[in-house]
Amino acid sequence: MAALTPISRTPVSFYVPVVAAAGAVAGLFVGTAQGASLLGVVLGAVLLAAAAFVMTQIIKVESPSRWGLVVILAIVGFFLGGIPAMIIGGAFGWFFGWFSFWLYEGRYRARVAPYLTPGQVLWHFTFRVICGAILVFLITPILVVMPLSFNAEDFFTFTPEMLRFDPEGYSLKHYRDFLTNSDWQNALKNSVQIAPMATLLSVSFGTLAAIGLSQPHVPFRRAIMAILISPMIVPLIISAAGMYFFYSRIGLQGTYIGVVLAHAALGIPFVIITVTATLVGFDNSLTRAAANMGAGPVTTFFRVQMPLILPGVISGGLFAFITSFDEVVVVLFVGSAGQKTLPWQMFTGLREQISPTILAVATILVVVSIALLTVVEVLRRRSERLRGMSPA
């Protein structure tokens, strides 16, 4: 975005105290960690205010002064607490170098509307920091799991070796365990056998029904929709209980088919929702044109309609796949030991605290979901493009 407001340098009396305040907060953390909070606050404020002044008024060039601060604080950090503290010190240096010049040159003002009062500008940035913190809250658990899965010890926490970035502290042993342990391998095999089958069922039935539901005149549309969506709304534990009771009556409890049917039922709402959403933008004159040119209903479906709604079908299928692949409550009840899936194995592991192999599996699953997320996103864009191409 282009600059909204012309910027000008700010007076020393503005930015040095602000940097000092930020330095005090940083000093508070460092000081508390060293056991001297008050000293930390004072030292942090004074040192960083001085650094800001020196950088802006004496050195005056941004890049070298910022790197200088990085090096100085990294060295201080190293002497205070070894390699982890050195990295934190370096990060602090980077931040304060940037922060000082950002305030000094008035760059903070460039991207906000010119009529804002200083209070509004302050709120604008505070608000962004709050949002940043919430986004960090959203992403941290996933980020913490990844490094921990390379732990050389059987702990669920960072060992001192890991914090020192000692190669000794890291290993692939949990991944090795996942790949060699027969429990995990069986679970993986079951998951891989169940999820695609369930996906296939829900996608094939779901696509047909979604096409039916998108016709202009469908009797009882609301009621049918409510029934078809219900597996997504009814709490899983209730679905699981009902399926457990009913499937054990008809002898499907504890069988592969039972689990596949249950998972297919759970995946159907996702297919219905995504495919009907795609069909909303579908131009029905295309099918009429195809029929006009002599194509039968089957040809029309496979050669005209299907290629256009394929992105929706695939993303619905991915949702159904993820639902089945991640599902644990229903399989816990409907399945037996022979259908133990990956999430089930993780669940048992978490309850009994067996090993950090769970974290290795979790990391693999995160990577898989990133891949799936990318596919869905690409498909969504493609679908939008296709829709844009078709006459409105």
Question: 55 or 342, CB closer to another protein?
Answer: 342
Contacts of 274 (CB under 8 A, 6+ apart): 312, 313, 315, 316, 319
Residue ranges with strand state E in 158-307? none
Closest distance of CB 130 from another protein, Å: 6
Stretch that binds another protein, among 42-50, 56-64, 180-188, 210-218 (CB under 8 A): 210-218
Element (H, E) at 360: helix 357-389
Single residue of 24, 52, 243, 320 touching another protein by CB under 8 A = 243
CA atoms of 184 and 86, how far apart (whole Å): 39
CA atoms of 223 and 226, how far apart (whole Å): 5
CA atoms of 17 and 8, how far apart (whole Å): 18
- Contact status: 206 vs another protein (CB under 8 A): yes
What one-character DSSP code corresponds to residue 151?
A: B
Q: Assess contact for 96 and 22: CB atoms under 8 A.
A: yes
Single residue of 82, 242, 254, 281 touching another protein by CB under 8 A = 242
Question: 9 or 111, CB closer to another protein?
Answer: 111
Q: Assess contact for 13 and 49: CB atoms under 8 A.
A: no
- Contact status: 135 vs another protein (CB under 8 A): yes
Burial of 23: CB neighbours in 10 Å, binned 0-12, 13-18, 19+: buried
CA atoms of 143 and 160, how far apart (whole Å): 18
Stretch that binds another protein, among 13-21, 67-75, 96-104, 345-353 (CB under 8 A): 345-353
Closest distance of CB 32 from another protein, Å: 4
Residue with tokens 């282009």: 2
Question: 1 or 337, CB closer to another protein?
Answer: 1
- Contact status: 291 vs another protein (CB under 8 A): no
CA atoms of 100 and 26, how far apart (whole Å): 14
- Contact status: 366 vs another protein (CB under 8 A): yes
Single residue of 20, 195, 313, 329 touching another protein by CB under 8 A = 329
User: What are the angstrom distances between the C-alpha of 388 and each of 105, 283, 333?
Assistant: 45, 11, 46
Single residue of 3, 12, 21, 238 touching another protein by CB under 8 A = 238
Stretch that binds another protein, among 10-18, 97-105, 125-133, 174-182 (CB under 8 A): 125-133
Give the tokens for residue 32. Answer: 């508390």
Single residue of 64, 114, 212, 307 touching another protein by CB under 8 A = 212
Applying the rule CB under 8 A, the residues between 19 and 48 that interact with another protein are 29, 32-33, 35, 37
- Contact status: 285 vs another protein (CB under 8 A): no
Single residue of 8, 13, 118, 138 touching another protein by CB under 8 A = 138
Stretch that binds another protein, among 55-63, 64-72, 100-108, 223-231 (CB under 8 A): 223-231
Question: 8 or 115, CB closer to another protein?
Answer: 115
- Contact status: 155 vs another protein (CB under 8 A): yes
- Contact status: 152 vs another protein (CB under 8 A): no
Applying the rule CB under 8 A, the residues between 84 and 103 that interact with another protein are none
Q: Assess contact for 24 and 37: CB atoms under 8 A.
A: no
Closest distance of CB 173 from another protein, Å: 17
3-class DSSP state of 156 = coil
- Contact status: 319 vs another protein (CB under 8 A): yes
Closest distance of CB 229 from another protein, Å: 6
Burial of 92: CB neighbours in 10 Å, binned 0-12, 13-18, 19+: buried
Chain-centre distance for alpha carbon 320: 18
Single residue of 322, 324, 335, 383 touching another protein by CB under 8 A = 322
Question: 97 or 349, CB closer to another protein?
Answer: 349
Stretch that binds another protein, among 14-22, 47-55, 180-188, 212-220 (CB under 8 A): 212-220
Q: What angle do CA 183, 188, 193 make, to 5 degrees?
A: 125
CA atoms of 18 and 25, how far apart (whole Å): 11
Question: 100 or 274, CB closer to another protein?
Answer: 274
Q: Assess contact for 16 and 123: CB atoms under 8 A.
A: no
